[in-house]
Amino acid sequence: MIDHSGYSALTRSFLTRELDNSSFHHREHVLVAYELLRNLSYTDAAFEYATGIRTLAAKAGAPRKFNATITYAFMSLIAEHMTMDKYDDFEDFAERNPELFSKNLLERWYEPERLHSDFARQAFLLPAAR
């Protein structure tokens, strides 16, 4: 069981699966990932994050919106950026890593057809060799 005391209200509601997905945009996705990665191992954070995102999509009546490749690739990028420097808080992290707030960031490595394929929704895909 996760101790929710070290998280923002947003992340706590995400972890308890009580979050209203209509207010959960890309910046909020990054914030939750950041907080999970600060408090859990990468593996545990990624599991909690993917489970929460999948649950949100299902509750919204759009289970096909969950994409394992996008979820794990963004988690990996956020984790990598977190190891590059020390950050005071999420606002500091966000200010110094603006590229993470681009929804199209993964297209640097992935062809759109691969990234949005049915299989990419089910399993993490590595970028295709170019």
Cβ neighbourhood burial of 93 (10 Å; 0-12, 13-18, 19+): buried
If one counts the domains in the chain, the total is: 1
Residue 23: predicted pLDDT? 82
**What's the pLDDT tens digit per position in 41-81?**
999 999 999 999 999 999 989 989 999 999 999 999 999 99
Whether 54 is in a domain gets the answer yes
Whether 130 is in a domain gets the answer no
CA 70 to CA 74: how far, in whole Å?
6
Domain that holds residue 66: 7-122
Rg (CA), the chain: 14
Using CA atoms in the order 31, 22, 101, 55, what is the torsion angle rounded to 10 degrees?
60
The amino acid that residue 38 corresponds to is: R
Whether 1 is in a domain gets the answer no
Helix axes 42-59, 68-84, angle to 10 degrees: 140
Whether 57 is in a domain gets the answer yes
Whether 127 is in a domain gets the answer no
Whether 2 is in a domain gets the answer no
Whether 107 is in a domain gets the answer yes
Q: Is the dihedral of CA 93, 84, 4, 56 positive or negative?
A: positive
Residue 130 has pLDDT above 90, yes or no: no
Whether 23 is in a domain gets the answer yes
Residue 6: predicted pLDDT? 72
Residue 1 has pLDDT above 60, yes or no: no
Residue written as tokens 């890309």?
26
